[in-house]
């Protein structure tokens, strides 16, 4: 099934997500549904809080970017119970958007490399280092698990300039190609 995407201002996006275990009900189905939802909304990553579930799960499929960035060729992954253990390298600015903050994109400063522990969809454990665009996308999705949105990482000035746009989004005053859940729980 395709889930509607929870939009900026909804409290579930501000919760800290919980780890899950192998007994989590219908996990395989949920992961498949998250990929379907991701493809329908034409995103590259989707975290469980964005479909209203406060669990430490996110999926990424950036293989569509491989033409411009060959490091994305096989970058389709499931991340369960992820924990970033190190962030390093220079900080870099790069333009990000978010399915939960429709029609907006801003430059965000992030570390260029991370080390992270996680489980994949088969419950294999990984302790892996990611760099460049992969590290960028992972850090964005990972933030969702901690109730953080990329707009939180902007300068005070940028935040102030965006305030009216964010208020409009909270009120549902935007167009989107995909189904959404507004802060008042309304699905449209
Ligand atoms: Zn996002």
Structure tokens given for 139: 């850090």
**Alpha carbon of 139 to ligand 1 centroid (Å):** 10
Average pLDDT over residues 45-56: 98
Task: Check residue 185 and give its pLDDT.
Answer: 72
Structure tokens given for 23: 């007994």
Strand order in the sheet with 76-98: 45-47, 57-61, 76-98, 101-119, 125-131
Question: With helix as H, strand as E and coil as C, how does the chain read?
Answer: CCCCEECCCCHHHHCCCECCCCCCCCHHHHHHHHHHHHHHCCCCEEEHHHHCCCECEEEEECHHHCCCCHHHCCCEEEEEEEEEEEEEEEEEEEEEEECCEEEEEEEEEEEEEEEEEEECCCCCEEEEEEEHHHHHHHHHHHHHHCCCCHHHHCCHHHHHHHHHHHHHHHCCCCCCCCCEECCCCCEC
Q: Is the pLDDT of residue 188 over 80?
A: no
Average pLDDT over residues 71-94: 96
Task: Check residue 43 and give its pLDDT.
Answer: 94
**Alpha carbon of 46 to ligand 1 centroid (Å):** 7
Task: Check residue 187 and give its pLDDT.
Answer: 66
Reported as a single tens digit per residue, the pLDDT across 10-35 is: 999 999 999 999 999 999 999 999 99
C-alpha 67: how far from chain center: 22
Reported as a single tens digit per residue, the pLDDT across 139-187 is: 999 999 999 999 999 999 999 999 999 999 999 999 999 999 999 876 6
Catalytic site residue 92? no
Average pLDDT over residues 88-109: 96
Q: Which of 86, 96, 128, 141 is the catalytic position?
A: 141
Task: Check residue 12 and give its pLDDT.
Answer: 96
What is the rounded average pLDDT for all residues in the chain?
96
Q: Is the pLDDT of residue 116 over 80?
A: yes
**Alpha carbon of 74 to ligand 1 centroid (Å):** 21
pTM score, whole prediction: 0.96
The percent of residues above 90 in pLDDT, for the chain, comes to: 97
**Alpha carbon of 149 to ligand 1 centroid (Å):** 7
Strand partners, 118: 126
Task: Check residue 122 and give its pLDDT.
Answer: 97
Alpha-carbon gap, residue 19 to 90, rounded angstroms: 30
CA angle 136, 9, 52 (to 5 degrees): 75
């Amino acid at each position: 099934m395709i889930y509607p995407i929870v939009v900026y201002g909804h409290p579930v996006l501000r919760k800290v997500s919980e780890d899950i275990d192998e007994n989590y009900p219908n996990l395989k189905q949920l992961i498949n549904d998250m990929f379907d939802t991701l493809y329908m909304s034409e995103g590259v990553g989707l975290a469980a809080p964005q479909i209203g579930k406060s669990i430490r799960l996110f999926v990424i499929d950036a293989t569509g970017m491989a033409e411009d960035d060959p490091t994305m060729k096989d970058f389709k992954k499931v991340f369960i119970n992820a924990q970033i253990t190190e962030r390093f390298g220079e900080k870099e600015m790069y333009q990000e958007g978010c399915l939960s903050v429709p029609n907006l994109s801003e430059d965000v400063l992030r570390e260029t490399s991370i080390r992270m522990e996680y489980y994949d969809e088969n419950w294999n454990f990984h302790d892996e280092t990611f760099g460049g665009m992969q590290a960028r996308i992972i850090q964005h999705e990972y933030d969702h698990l901690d109730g953080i949105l990329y707009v939180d990482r902007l300068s005070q000035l940028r935040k102030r300039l965006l305030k009216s746009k964010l208020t409009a989004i909270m009120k549902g005053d935007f167009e989107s190609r995909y189904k959404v859940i507004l802060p008042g729980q309304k699905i449209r």
